[in-house]
Structure 1
Amino acid sequence: MFLLCSITLAVVTSFFTRNLPKTYETQTEIFTGIASGINVDAVDNVKVDFLTSATEFDNLINIIKSRETLEEVGMRLLVQHMMLDSADPAYIGQEYWGHFRWKIPDSVEQELLVPYSVDSTLTNLYRYKELHWDDDRVKSTFEGGDSPYSWKRISSIGVSRVQSSDLLRIYYSYQDPGIAQNTLLILNEVFMSKMALIKSEQSASVVGYFEEKVNEAARALAAAEEHLQEFRIVNRVINYQEQTRSLTIEKERMEDEYQAEIAKQQAAMAALRKLEEQLALNNIMVQLGNDILNKKQELIDMRSKIAELETYLNDADLLRKLRAKAMHIEEEVRNMLATRYAYSRTTEGIPVSTIISAWLDASLALDAANARVEVFLKRKQYFREQYDKYAPLGSKFARLERDIDIKEANYLELLNSLNQALLRQRGEMVSSGGQVVTQPPPFPHDPNPSKVAMLIMVGAIMGFVVPFLFVVMKELLDSTIRTPERGEEQTKMKLIGAYPDLTARSEVKNVDFEWLHEKSAALVVQNLRLEAKGKGSRQMAKNILVFSTREGDGKQLCTHVMANELVSLNFRVLVMGPKELPKGETPYYDYITYKNDKDFVNAEHITELIPMGFDPMLYDYVFLVLGAVLTNPYPLNLLDQFNVSICVTGAFRNWNRADATALEEFSDTLGFQPRLLLNGVEPDYMSSVLGEIAKDRSWLRRFIKGILSLQLKTGAFGRGKKRDTRQVKGRL
């Protein structure tokens, strides 16, 4: 079957490929500069990222093989042919020129063609395709699989990277050499322009975004700086840190001077009180005292003005005049005091002039101290007002400066990103413009070698491999018992024999089924006799129990075959079964039908199942056929009266846990392990039981079998059906 399928498919392939047209292949190589080209970002040291390089190559290949690119190539190829007046082998041969004229008649060409303008003609062609997209001629031209202008046909181009280099190889084959060459020439132009457009648009959008953001950040920074400037002008702040520092220093220095002046004032007050206690004024000197007091008050006022001038202003001339006037008033006071106390002494006897002089000094010192203290108090009020002004300005000034710092940092970051984007844009433009066609597609003069032989060989191999894989998968996926080996492995019972599937006569005609039936029956009976002898060699009758775990395993038929074979060996056989024998089966033994009822289940002895007129002691073998033990009850008291037990199982079904459980319980009740009789085995699997199967083999089959089995003598395989049936029966 495998050889026949292989030869058939090879012949069919040869028939359909006998008129394959010749094809011409050309190729081009392009230097991309992706991995080793110059990089604007790092001119001196270019680091190669293999993953990035692979991605770049994948992008480039996908753009080349994209439908949009291939459609434009087909359009431009058609425009090129429309520009021709006749067939030119450099562009299109005579045969395909006829196809072109059929696709583009003169009327259509006159409507679309713009002489000496490829772009205008291309625009008209795009518009014509969109308007007549449902036209059969347009579909066959731009969608047909054989049209040189179809993107489906051009998509057969091959694109690959040359090893690990920067070179990209593109190859294309077509039945016309001029079309093949010009298709690649146009493809190079189209995809290079597309790559440049994609790179520029991609980087332009990024650059535009950062330019917009940089302008926004610049405007925000300028607004923040203007706000700070207005704040300085309104609040008269030139340098906040220096001004507040100077104010703090001046305040501390003034506070020290103020405390010192307070101490002088207290000392002058104490001295004045002591001197006034020592003076005793009389009525005569009162008037003079009042005059002195008036002069004193005038002197106090003069000293206050001098102190104020010393603190706030720096007018030297005015200050000198005031000091001279103050000295003059002071001299007048001294003279008046001298007159007043010229003749007086204190109560302690101290001359009044001395006390008066001391009192005057103390009084003048106290007046001067009081004047300076009052000035210091006004100064303190000034510093308090300045502190109240600068304290809230500090936090707001800090917020304004922090806002400027944030906006400035944002502006610088965006400006740096813009510079990087511009640099990347320039790099993309350099890299996209760095693609160079290192090998233009040459004109292919010689056609490609014919692939007919290779296709026929592939067809022959597929014709052999596909059926072979089908058979192998069928065998691997088949969970049925199938073979005697699998039957013993799955049921855990020792095989007593196997019976073939006789219904396969029409499928396997070369098998000698008569011989196979006789051989299988003889082997089963031979093993049955050995088993019965081992179980009860002294008994006259051999009681044999035949059962199955399920219905439909063929235990009735197998019992019929074993009984007839025993009769042919001159044994007397009795068979008891729950069903009538099938029509067409001739028994040469005695057959009894029993009812599977409660009497049968409760039977104590095998004689209870045999009707009158039958003596079980007259038989050499007595068979009892039970129903399926998995679904039917069976007589437990009769099981110990049987010497041999045979479990009939169909090779056409699987063995599962229910079968194993039922067999285990039945074997425990029986007291010994039953033997397995596998029914319905495919003829080819009977070789593991009977040895070589008699078949009618041709000399080719015998030769192949000899090679595969390493048995080169043809006598080892037999001659199939050309055997004497009488000799076979004699050997049985």
Structure 2
Amino acid sequence: MELGNFFKLLWKHKNLLIIIPLVAIIVSYFLVKNLADKYVSTAQIATGIVDQSRHLLDADPTGATKEQSIAHEFSNLIEIMKLKTLINQVSYKLILHDLTDSVPFKPHSKLFLTMNPRARAHAVELFTNKFKNMQPLSYYNKDEEGLNELLRSMKYDERSLRKDLLIVRSEDSDFISVSYESNNPQLSAFIVNILCTQFIDYYTHTVRQNETDAVNYLAKLLEQKRDSLNKKTAALQNYKIKNGILNLEEQSKSLFDQIIVFNDRKQQAEKDVASYNGAIQKINNRFKPGERQYIEATISKYNQDVINSQDQLHILTDRYVRSGFNPKLKPAIDSLSNKLSAQINQTSDKYITNPLTAKDDLVKQKLTLEVTRDLAKYSIQSINNAVKELNAKFQRLVPFDANVKTFNFDIDIASKEYLDVLNKYNQTNLQSTFSIRLRLAEYATPDAAEPSKKMLLIILSGIIAFAFCVIILFGLFFMDDTIKEPADLVKRTNLPLLGHLNTVLGSLDLKKLWDVEHRDKMRLFKELIRSIRFEVDQELRGEKVLGITSLSNHEGKTVLAISLAYSYSMINKKVLLIDGNFDNPTISNTVSPKVYLEDYFKNNPDNYQSFSNTTNVMGNHGGDVTLLELSDENFIRSRFNELKTKYDIIIIETPPLSSLNKSKEWLLFANKVISVYESNKGIAKWQKDDVDYLRNLNSKFAGWVLNKTDPKKDRF
């Protein structure tokens, strides 16, 4: 419904929607018909960022390519190209060309024409110097400010050049596209080529300088790390030389192995001593006490050679143990042991034994076991001494080991730092060799004129003008809160509707309206009055007093009251029309009644003239007075009861509800109330209380009558 109303609004203003776009099209035609042709020149810069053929030495071994990183690189290059410094370089080149060439790119400006040869030479010198040094013109230097004005007058300044300059990445390729649009094909190509070459030179110089600084810094850092590593290595070597350390780990391992060997030999010797003592004890037990004394007596005379051999064997065994069981001493020990065994055998042959006892072999075994046991006991003592010496040596190696480990830890850290810096240096040095990838792959050349956009601009002007008008009308429609149709009034107030009346221009002649068929508007008005009359009858249901009010003045109460009274008279009803509007007694001024409210409700008049056979009008003299000021409520109610006996229907035109109690006093005596509302008006905030009052009347309020509606919207 709302959309339909909007289309009706557009149709209502169709002439506006046609005329304004048409005017815009005509104006655009005259504005663009003399526009010069546009020439666009484009150059391509190869960056090498995504070109894998240019990454053979510094390619990523993982093969990973991060799209976001690539996008950042391209964005950085484009922003560098847009730097004011580079745009200024193009400006300098353009003005130098026009100052020195006989065929300038643009017609000379007024300021340019005022320059004498000396001023031009000075400008050429200054612009050339600024171009070589890549310096901007100062706005605070009077001389350079004049040159800035010269650039602006020729439209060669930075802001003017940026307007038609386009720098973008060509889709997902490796190229940056630079294009410029102007009225001169030579100018477009010149600007693009100068900008590209200056950008490549600037970027190359900047990157080279940064990489050189990085390589030099890493070279110095690498030298520092190398010196630190050499110093720590020399300190470790000096410490080893000073303390006689060849290989601390091997030395400690050798000592530990020797200690283990000696402990094993000691355990074996202790086992041998225990076993020999047991064997000797068993032999001693086999001899009787007398025989044992005999043998001991003989042993006391032990051969001196055997004793000497035993001493030599003890000395040699001690040397063998102290040498760490050197195999070279083993043959000498074995030889001396054999010699001692032979001497013992010779000695046993000379022993004097008891003839009654044949135990020569036992004596021989005992002597041999005693010698072997003594050797084992002595070797245990030698082994213990050797173990003590080895433990002492091992303990002396502990602080050396701690210090050497500290030196090694420092050397490891220094070595790692050195290798990290070395790798970084090699990588940076390699990248610096292949980092400059920018090259001008395609130079800009003067091209043909671009297809004309004049017709497109003309059409766009018409479309934009039409859209602008539609938007304005939509804004007005959206902001419009006026009530135009009966359904809008019901929706806004939540109160019932009795009917509506169309707009009738000119004076309303009720006699002609009911006697003769007029034009369609008058016929429609009569039919709508009849409809309202029917609805009022349905609401009254035998009651007789009808009050007609409105929210404000001049909404059509008088027209409705008179028309409704006349309509009732046409169906042979006795009608009394009361003008209760003291502030604006339109009915009284129009009809000139014979009876007035001030007289009737104070006196009791019996002689009043009728307006017609069946219709009477009771007027008022006007003034600042209210109904209850004429008489009290009971007396007025009795008068109304009297009027009800004489008339079939009593219609009261009351003041608007904006007059507060003046209207509400009349409504006290009405059986039903209807309110007239003029269309194309909105309900103000201060009128909401009056709407609430009508809503609080409940069933007493019969409904709205919407006045002055558009007859084209009514359908029968």
TM-score, structure 2 as length reference: 0.69
Give, as a single letter, the amino acid of the residue that structure 1 aligns with 2:710: M
Contact 2:552 2:656 in 1 (8 A): no
Contact 1:25 1:174 in 2 (8 A): yes
Matches within 5 A, 1:475-554: 475-492=477-494, 493-494=496-497, 496-497=499-500, 525-536=529-540, 541-546=544-549, 553-554=551-552
CA distance 1:410–1:538, change in 2 (3 Å): same
2:200 corresponds to: 192
2:699 corresponds to: 671
Structure 2 distance, partners of 1:101, 1:4, is 46
Structure 2 distance, partners of 1:212, 1:516, is 106
Contact 2:276 2:373 in 1 (8 A): yes
Give, as a single letter, the amino acid of the residue that structure 2 aligns with 1:107: R
Structure 2 distance, partners of 1:533, 1:316, is 148
Matches within 5 A, 1:204-215: none
Q: Please state if 1:106 is matched with 2:117.
A: yes
Q: Alpha-carbon deviations, 1:127-178, whole Å to 9, x = none?
A: 764662686533423455x523444335422345556655554333334554
CA distance 1:263–1:48, change in 2 (3 Å): closer
Q: Alpha-carbon deviations, 1:267-320, whole Å to 9, x = none?
A: 44455566597543799x79x94x869887765543332012223449999998
Q: Alpha-carbon deviations, 1:612-650, whole Å to 9, x = none?
A: 998894584423648759998997997795245336477
1:720 corresponds to: none
1:432 corresponds to: 438
Instruction: From 550, 570, 581, give the equivalent of 2:584.
Output: 581
| Structure 1 residue 377, shift from structure 2 partner | 0.8
1:473 corresponds to: 475
| Structure 1 residue 408, shift from structure 2 partner | 5.5
CA distance 1:585–1:330, change in 2 (3 Å): farther
1:181 corresponds to: 189
Instruction: From 94, 98, 112, give the equivalent of 1:77.
Output: 94
Q: Please state if 1:308 is matched with 2:318.
A: yes
Number of residue pairs matched? 644
Structure 2 distance, partners of 1:585, 1:415, is 115
Matches within 5 A, 1:156-555: 156-160=164-168, 165-166=173-174, 168-200=176-208, 243-270=251-278, 275=284, 279-280=292-293, 289=300, 301-313=311-323, 342=352, 345=354, 350=357, 357-389=364-396, 416=423, 420-422=427-429, 424-429=431-436, 431-433=437-439, 435-437=440-442, 439-442=443-446, 455-492=457-494, 493-494=496-497, 496-497=499-500, 525-536=529-540, 541-546=544-549, 553-554=551-552
CA distance 1:261–1:182, change in 2 (3 Å): same
2:43 corresponds to: 29
Structure 1 distance, partners of 2:186, 2:178, is 16
1:96 corresponds to: 108
SS in structure 2 opposite 1:28?
strand
1:607 corresponds to: 637
| Structure 1 residue 457, shift from structure 2 partner | 4.6
Gaps of 5+ in 2: 1-15, 506-518, 570-574, 592-616
Q: Please state if 1:560 is matched with 2:563.
A: no
Structure 1 distance, partners of 2:460, 2:580, is 61
C-alpha RMSD of the superposition: 5.6
Contact 2:555 2:678 in 1 (8 A): no
Q: Alpha-carbon deviations, 1:567-604, whole Å to 9, x = none?
A: 67676421435x6228999554645689889999x968
Contact 1:24 1:447 in 2 (8 A): yes
Contact 2:545 2:669 in 1 (8 A): no
Contact 2:40 2:182 in 1 (8 A): no
SS in structure 1 opposite 2:53?
coil
SS in structure 2 opposite 1:96?
coil
Instruction: From 152, 161, 181, give the equivalent of 1:153.
Output: 161
Instruction: From 681, 686, 708, give the equivalent of 2:710.
Output: 686
1:645 corresponds to: 674
Give, as a single letter, the amino acid of the residue that structure 2 aligns with 1:96: H
CA distance 1:266–1:449, change in 2 (3 Å): closer
Contact 1:309 1:319 in 2 (8 A): no
Structure 2 distance, partners of 1:645, 1:25, is 75
| Structure 1 residue 186, shift from structure 2 partner | 1.3
2:609 corresponds to: none
Contact 1:25 1:173 in 2 (8 A): yes
Contact 1:148 1:179 in 2 (8 A): no
SS in structure 2 opposite 1:436?
strand
CA distance 1:554–1:369, change in 2 (3 Å): same
| Structure 1 residue 531, shift from structure 2 partner | 1.6
CA distance 1:190–1:365, change in 2 (3 Å): same
| Structure 1 residue 365, shift from structure 2 partner | 2.0
Structure 1 distance, partners of 2:256, 2:206, is 65
Which is further off, 35-44 or 461-470?
A: 35-44
| Structure 1 residue 349, shift from structure 2 partner | 5.7
Q: Alpha-carbon deviations, 1:356-382, whole Å to 9, x = none?
A: 655543432232122211111122223
Give, as a single letter, the amino acid of the residue that structure 2 aligns with 1:686: D
Contact 1:74 1:151 in 2 (8 A): no
Structure 2 distance, partners of 1:631, 1:389, is 120
2:3 corresponds to: none
CA distance 1:68–1:174, change in 2 (3 Å): same
Q: Please state if 1:137 is matched with 2:146.
A: yes
Structure 1 distance, partners of 2:308, 2:661, is 149
Contact 2:89 2:198 in 1 (8 A): yes
Contact 2:555 2:676 in 1 (8 A): no
Structure 2 distance, partners of 1:237, 1:452, is 96
SS in structure 2 opposite 1:476?
helix
CA distance 1:498–1:134, change in 2 (3 Å): farther
SS in structure 2 opposite 1:645?
strand
Give, as a single letter, the amino acid of the residue that structure 2 aligns with 1:305: I
Contact 2:215 2:425 in 1 (8 A): yes
Structure 1 distance, partners of 2:697, 2:546, is 16
CA distance 1:484–1:413, change in 2 (3 Å): farther
Structure 1 distance, partners of 2:293, 2:231, is 79
Give, as a single letter, the amino acid of the residue that structure 1 aligns with 2:637: T
SS in structure 1 opposite 2:499?
strand
Contact 1:521 1:561 in 2 (8 A): no
TM-score, structure 1 as length reference: 0.68
1:505 corresponds to: none
1:728 corresponds to: none
SS in structure 1 opposite 2:556?
helix
Contact 1:521 1:562 in 2 (8 A): no
Q: Alpha-carbon deviations, 1:174-230, whole Å to 9, x = none?
A: 345543332223122112223434554566676667667766666666566556656
Gaps of 5+ in 1: 503-514, 548-552, 693-732
| Structure 1 residue 472, shift from structure 2 partner | 0.9
Which is further off, 664-673 or 529-538?
A: 664-673
